[in-house]
Amino acid sequence: MTPKSSDSVSERGFKFVSLFTRTVGAVICLAMTSLLFTAAATAQALPESRIAIVDYQLIQKNSTAMVEIQKQIEQRRLIYQQEISKQEQELRASDQELANQRSVLAADAFALKRREFEAKVAQVQRQVQDRKRELDRAFEYGMNQVQLVVKEIIADLAQQRNFNLVLSRQQIIFSENNLNISEDIVKLLNERLPLVQIP
C-alpha cells in the first residue's frame, strides 16, 4: 500500500503564514493594550494645570515706568528733531547760495563747492541715522528693565498662588477673567519700578 503523502509545500506555507499573521496580530494587540495603560498612567501622574494669563499690552499701557520711558523718548526725539531741522535749513541756504554762484564761479571752483556741500548733506544723513539708533537703544534699555521686573513678579505670583503655566493674553482666543493676573502685575510693577531713567 502506498503511504499517504504529507502536506504539500503550498499547504505548509499557507498554514505558516496564517499562524504568523495570528501571532503578529496578538503581539500588536498586546502592545496597543500596554500603550493604552501606559498613557493612562502617565495622564494620572501629570500634575493639575493651574493657569494664569498675562496681558503684556495692558501692563505696558498702565505701567508708570513705561509711560515715563515714552515721555523721555519723545522729549529726546523733539530735541534731535530741532537739531536736524536747523541743519536742514542751513543746507537749503547753502544749496541756494551755491546755485546763485554757479554763473560766476569757474567750473573747478564750483565742482569743489558742490562736493563740499554734498559731504555736508551726507554728514547730516548719518547724524539722522545715529540719532534714530540712539533712540532705539534707549527705548530697548527701558523695555528690558521693565521686562526683568515683570518676570520677577510673575515668578513670585506663580510661587505664591501655585501657578504652573503662565500664558500671554495675545496668544489666547478665550479665557475666563479670573485667570488674568495682569492688574496684579501692574500694581506690583508700579510699586517696585515706578520710574526708569533711560541712558
Contacts of residue 73, Cβ cutoff 8 Å, sequence gap at least 6: 135, 138, 139, 142, 198
Query: In terms of pTM, does the model score above 0.85?
Result: no
In this prediction, residue 177 carries a pLDDT of 76
Which of 177 and 58 is assigned the larger pLDDT?
A: 58
For the chain, domain boundaries? 9-46, 51-192
Which of 19 and 79 is assigned the larger pLDDT?
A: 79
In this prediction, residue 6 carries a pLDDT of 43
Instruction: Quote the cell numbers at residue 127.
Output: 547724524
Which pLDDT band, with edges at 50, 70 and 90, does 131 fall under? very high
Q: What is the fold of 51-192?
A: Protein Binding, DinI Protein; Chain A (3.30.910)
Instruction: Quote the cell numbers at residue 27.
Output: 503581539
pLDDT of 28 above 80: no
Strand 51-54 vs strand 165-168: parallel, antiparallel, or unpaired? parallel
Does residue 52 contact residue 179 with C-beta atoms inside 8 Å?
yes
Which of 48 and 62 is assigned the larger pLDDT?
A: 62
In this prediction, residue 178 carries a pLDDT of 80
Instruction: Quote the cell numbers at residue 30.
Output: 498586546
Tens of pLDDT, residues 87-97: 999 999 999 99
